[in-house]
Structure 1
Amino acid sequence: MQNSTENPHPQHPDLDLYPVDRLVEVLVEDQLNAAQAVWAVRLRLAEAVRESIPRIAAGGRLIYVGAGTSGRLGLLDAVELYPTFSWPRSRAIALVAGGADALADAVEGAEDNDQQGEADLLAVRPVANDVVLAIAASGCTPYVLGALRAARASGSLTIGFANNPNAPVLTAAQIGIALVTGAEIISGSTRLKAGTAQKIALNSFSSALMVGLNKVYGNLMVDLRPVNAKLVHRAISLTMHATGVSEEIARHTLVLCGYQVKVAIVALKCGIDAEAAKVRLAAARGNVRQAMRG
């Protein structure tokens, strides 16, 4: 397997001699390749979303698996789903080689243990409706491959993300997404554009999945969890924007609806109380447009 992420960059052998302006310029410029790498596999990402929606809608979980930067990016995507889309924390699980200690410090050798990857995956009791996202810049991380092996055996849908074409993580997964970013400006530092490509891909995947699960109305984030003052203000603004009511009415209705923006929108648009709006939303599986049609 060609491991292009480890190759020295051919264009900048004297990087350490660059003045600061030039140094920042080339680092930022190279990051543009990350977005291009994700764009090139947008159809594979769409396939992954289509295959995931029915499984997750049927009660499945998202299980992210990675080591180092890839593991931390998986964790970041998982934890942000709760405040953004009210996604249950128990249904977005992140497995990182080395466990919690690896989030702040490198745990030497953890990523090389395929048996631990398999054991960690089995410990969360994967089932057929689960979706396992295996993330590895090199595409050959043993910990991730061990988890993939266990996921396939359990019948879970497996989606592999790697930054080298034809990498084992891609071929071992049912859907392989090759984010081919090539050599890094700083040789082997995949926290650079390889990591950026992974972040874009995971953001795009999980956001599209949440739209497909009726977590968005129009382009409004209407299923957020207002866990702080900023998000409370955002909930009020979203309700105002969706319904055209004043801030006072939006705030009052949200209080009656337990600060559930979707419920408040349906209640205001249909002229019904919160309980009736909840019933409509439940019947429409959370789809605001269908709920408003009754």
Structure 2
Amino acid sequence: MQLIALRYFVMVAATGSFVGTARHFQVQPSSVSRFVSALEREVGQQLFYRNTRSVRLTEAGERYYLQVREVLDALDIATEQAAGKETDVRGLVRLNVPVALGRLHIAEIVNRLQAAHPDLSVELTLTDAYIDPIQEGADITLRIGRLADSGLIARRIGEQKYVLCAGSSYIKKFGKPRTPEDLRDHSCLSYKGLLGTQRWSFRQRDTDATHPVQVDGPLKSNDAEVLVAAALAGRGIVLFPTWMFDKTCFHSKKLVKLMPDWIPSQDPTPIDISLISPENRLRSHKVRVVLDFLLDAIGSPPYWDDI
């Protein structure tokens, strides 16, 4: 069994592409296919389902991938440490990020990361599910919410901040709410996901008491970007984290912040944003470089709070 065949296999599994794997290793796609086919013969199992549109792991391939990936990761870390290659940043790093935050912010940061380190490959998975980074093989996970006591190493970015706002056309027509109770008489656009309809909560500055309020309106959606677009169109009021908004919308007055004397939230207790990694992955130089790049690019508090 050749080590290069295992590396090709892991990269095809991560990217879903023989062509992309060939491009990464600077070889012909036929070479990748030949090595992977030879690996399947040696293992005695079909590892991939192949068709003209996609490549995906079989059930046996999934099991094999989890084991081989751990072995190759351990080998790469050992090689880094033995060779003292503290300047090279190459190979694959796996990131797991919430969907909207990844699309609006992290994808662009990854573009800058790879421009700075052209030999680095990134597997960026966007999901709102709370994954187990160890089980899923994520090197770095951006987590919004409370962290369970585990063997994961966390780097706190900051507390998630929220904005209550509406389109300027809505404000001209219906006026501004002044208190949480006033929101009952306004059209509020709510997120409705797997955990039910979004809760709105408010706290006056310099106090600890929270004021939850039941809101209603003409539109609910499981897509936050749909609701922000509706607010821009003047259809109602939204409450979302700062990272959901383009700050130019506030500078141009397309969106107007509401109730400045109140601190809005979707939870009565503070929620942190953190980057977490399994302890063994942080032994890898490339993972530490990527983690530091993300921390520097996002900042603490995050740059998206500046709206």
Point out the structure with the larger helix share. Answer: 1
- TM-score (norm. length: structure 2): 0.23
Question: TM-score, length-normalised on structure 1?
Answer: 0.24
Bigger strand share: 2
Which protein has the larger Cα radius of gyration, Structure 1 or Structure 2?
2
